[in-house]
């Protein structure tokens, strides 16, 4: 399939961004995601992460997260974009808790305008725990935003839990898919109104590809073949089984590639 596989930052919530990059490189990942906490990030952090990326020959697929809120624009959101550009990251992930779709769209538009000058794309993720709760909500915001470069980020877990089906993606402009997330989960999840349980599943209960029942093969067939995948396996079980970051990264890569070889009879 030729897809780039990236170790998502969320797989490593217990280590620093530089350590995440080092683990990804040691485990053989070609790309990695970077968690940018602007309250902790310094110029030294940028230098160290860039050095680790260069030493490991890795691409920074994305940086996260810009969390859009009601009220004035947050300067830290634009700082995340600037940091992403300094690291050579191709994408920045955005979510929203702003209740007004027009407000989300306006803020997303300003983020996209800033990002365009940096060579970075902003992708909007939807989920039941955000104000942009579904594929339809996300497409509405993107239409209101009016920026063709704004991306749509599909996470298989959130997509399934909000009623999405792979066939629904056929109506989406393929250019919207700058990249996608990837993981597995049981067929049934928390009740839609149980937001704490939804968040817990997203942060701690994801499964390796093939260990759940999500229609992953159909989902990948619905995306453009070249769409990079950020393997977003936030899992307490994975963290407990592999406390060493390198071993965790290696186990996840092995499981992901193994599933792809089985599902598509090909390698990455």
Quick: pLDDT tens for 256-266.
Answer: 999 999 988 74
Tokens for 67, please give them: 């969390």
pLDDT of residue 111: 98
- Residue-wise pLDDT for 58-110, tens only, equals 999 999 999 999 999 999 999 999 999 999 999 999 999 999 999 999 999 99
CA atoms of 194 and 30, how far apart (whole Å): 37
pLDDT of residue 119: 97
**Strand ranges of the sheet holding 121-125, from the earlier edge strand across to the other edge:** 151-153, 121-125, 91-96, 59-68, 31-35, 5-7, 229-231, 180-182
pLDDT of residue 267: 37
CA atoms of 178 and 249, how far apart (whole Å): 23
78 φ/ψ angles, rounded to the nearest 5 degrees: -70, -30
Classify domain 5-264 by CATH number. Answer: 3.20.20.150
Q: Which residue has the tokens 């997509």?
A: 159
Contact between 140 and 166 under an 8 Å Cβ cutoff? The reply is: no
CA atoms within 13 A on the CB side of 167: 0
Percentage, residues of the chain above pLDDT 90: 95
Radius of gyration of the chain (CA): 17
CA atoms of 209 and 117, how far apart (whole Å): 36
CA atoms of 109 and 23, how far apart (whole Å): 34
- Residue-wise pLDDT for 168-204, tens only, equals 999 999 999 999 999 999 999 998 889 999 999 999 9
- Rounded to two decimals, the pTM is 0.96
1 pLDDT exceeds 70?
no
Contact between 111 and 94 under an 8 Å Cβ cutoff? The reply is: yes
- Please give the distance of CA 183 from its chain centroid, rounded to a whole number: 11
Hey, where are the domains in the chain?
5-264
């Amino acid at each position: 399939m030729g897809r780039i596989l990236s170790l998502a930052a969320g797989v490593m919530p217990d280590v620093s961004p530089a350590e995440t990059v080092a683990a990804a490189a040691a485990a053989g990942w070609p790309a990695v995601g970077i968690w940018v906490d602007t309250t902790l990030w310094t110029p030294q952090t940028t230098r160290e992460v860039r050095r680790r990326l260069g030493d490991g020959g890795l691409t920074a697929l994305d940086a996260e997260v810009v969390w859009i809120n009601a009220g004035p624009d947050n300067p830290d959101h634009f700082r995340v974009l600037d940091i992403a550009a300094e690291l050579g990251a191709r994408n920045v992930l955005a979510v929203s808790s702003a209740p007004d779709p027009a407000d989300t769209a306006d803020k997303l538009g300003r983020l996209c305008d800033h990002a365009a000058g940096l060579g970075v794309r902003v992708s909007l993720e939807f989920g039941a725990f955000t104000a942009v709760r579904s594929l339809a909500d996300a497409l509405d915001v993107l239409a209101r935003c009016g920026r063709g470069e704004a991306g749509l980020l599909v996470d298989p877990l959130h997509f399934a839990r909000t009623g999405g089906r792979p066939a629904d993606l056929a109506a989406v402009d393929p250019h919207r898919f700058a990249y996608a997330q990837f993981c597995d989960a049981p067929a049934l999840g928390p009740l839609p109104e149980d937001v704490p349980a939804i968040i817990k599943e997203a942060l701690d209960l994801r499964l390796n590809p093939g260990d759940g029942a999500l229609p992953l093969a159909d989902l990948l067939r619905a995306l453009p073949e070249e769409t990079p995948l950020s393997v977003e396996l936030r899992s307490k079980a994975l963290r407990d089984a592999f406390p060493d970051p390198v071993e965790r990264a290696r186990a996840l890569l092995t499981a992901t590639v193994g599933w792809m070889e089985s599902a598509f009879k090909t390698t990455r």
